[in-house]
Amino acid sequence: MEVAQPKDLKQHLALANRSHAELCRRSRVFNARDRIIGGDTKAWDIQVHDQKIKDATDKARHESFASEMRQNDKILCILEERDRRDRRNLCRAINDFQQSVQRPETRREFDLSDPLALRKALPARQSDNDIRNTISGMQKFMGEDLNFHKRKKFQEEQNREWSLQQQQEWKDALAQQKCAEDLHTKTRLQFDSTAQHIQNLESATRKAVCAAVKEFNKCQAAESIDRKIHEKKQEQEDNLTEISNLLHGDLLSENPNQAASSFGPHRVTPDRWKGMSQAQLEQIRLVQKQQIQEKIRLQEEARQRDLDWDRQRVQNAHATLLQQRQQQRQQRELRKALDCNNLRLAEEHLLREKSLKELYTNHHTEDYFSQFNTKSR
């Protein structure tokens, strides 16, 4: 009884997957529509359906617009016909009114084209005060009146009076201008004298202020000099006092008790601390030696622990190597048995093919023609 190996199961699974893929590809390849177009026909059918729906919607909208436009055109034609009819009625009414009321003989300018105008017309001028001698009639111009000599004499007298009046007005204007200039000169001199007096007062005031400021500055300078001398003397005294305190103080005398803190004996004041004592230094050295020995002990423990881990890792690696070799020997034995089985199957297949070849030589059946176009490759 043959036992199915894991590798054989994988091969059968791969073969089944390839067969399924081959069937799917053959269905695609033998489909002439998909092979020629070379695209997703279902998606294209959906797009075509959507496009048809869109075209139908656009067509319905255009048809509604067209019907509305036709309705508007009909309304526009009716309104235009009504407007033309109203215009014709208005023109007819105007013509009737002109024929019945506005006849040529009732017009104001009919006398310009009246054939009997000369018989009806009066003389162009009967006197200077004729009411028919209007400006637009141009029947009487300047200087063509009947009392020309009297009018000319009156105009000359009027011109002489105007000339005398202008001369008198000119003399009065000159006198007023001279009086205004005199008043302006007098006012300007008065303003100048006032400005000179104000300037003199400002100059005197400025001099007095400058003198007062100068005196005040002198007093301030004297006070500043005295203050600086006093401050310098005080500073010298303070420096001497500070030097004396430093010389006789704990800072230069190297007194270790001055570093004692008020918060406890275990604390010191950093700015006055003079260093540790010999006992404290010995204590620190003893602690350092203990720390060195503890560090050496920890390093030795770590080294021993690393050696144990290395030994255990080597043992695990050796066991893994032995197990791999055992698996390789088992696989070689399985492969050898499988090769013998395959060799036996191959010999049986060759014998069967040879017998079939001898049996079906030069005889074509339907199976021979149906084997074509069964695969996609």
Write down the pLDDT at residue 352: 86
CA–CA separation, 172 and 163 (whole Å) = 14
Write down the pLDDT at residue 374: 67
Tokens of 212: 């007062």
Q: Is 373 left (phi over 0), alpha (psi -120 to 50) or beta?
A: left
Q: Give me the amino acid identity at 53.
A: I
CB 238 within 8 A of CB 258: no
Chain CA centroid to CA 322, Å: 72
Tokens of 153: 């004499």
Residue with tokens 């067509």: 59
254-266: buried (b, 16+ CB within 10 Å) or exposed (e) per residue?
A: eeeeebeeeeeee
Q: What is the pLDDT along the chain (377 residues), one digit of tens a residue?
A: 455 566 677 888 888 888 888 888 777 777 766 666 666 667 778 888 899 999 999 999 999 999 999 999 999 999 999 999 999 999 999 998 888 887 877 777 787 777 887 777 776 667 767 777 777 767 777 766 667 788 888 888 999 999 999 999 999 999 999 998 999 888 888 888 888 888 888 888 888 888 888 888 889 888 888 889 999 888 888 888 888 777 666 656 666 666 666 676 667 666 666 667 777 788 889 999 999 999 999 999 999 999 999 999 999 999 999 999 999 999 999 999 999 999 999 999 888 888 877 776 666 667 777 777 666 56
pTM of the model: 0.23
Write down the pLDDT at residue 251: 59
Write down the pLDDT at residue 287: 92
Q: Helices marked H in the chain — which ranges? A: 6-29, 32-37, 41-100, 117-120, 148-248, 250-253, 278-359, 366-370
Q: Which of 49, 217, 16, 60 is nearest to 41 (CA)?
A: 49
Main-chain phi, psi angles of 212, to 5 degrees = -65, -45
Write down the pLDDT at residue 100: 83
Question: pLDDT tens-digit profile of 179-232?
Answer: 989 998 888 888 888 888 888 888 888 888 888 888 888 898 888 888 899 998
Q: How many CB atoms lie within 10 A of CB 195?
A: 10
Q: Give me the amino acid identity at 34.
A: D
CA–CA separation, 342 and 235 (whole Å) = 118
Residue with tokens 């066991």: 319
CA–CA separation, 299 and 305 (whole Å) = 10
Q: How many CB atoms lie within 10 A of CB 198?
A: 10
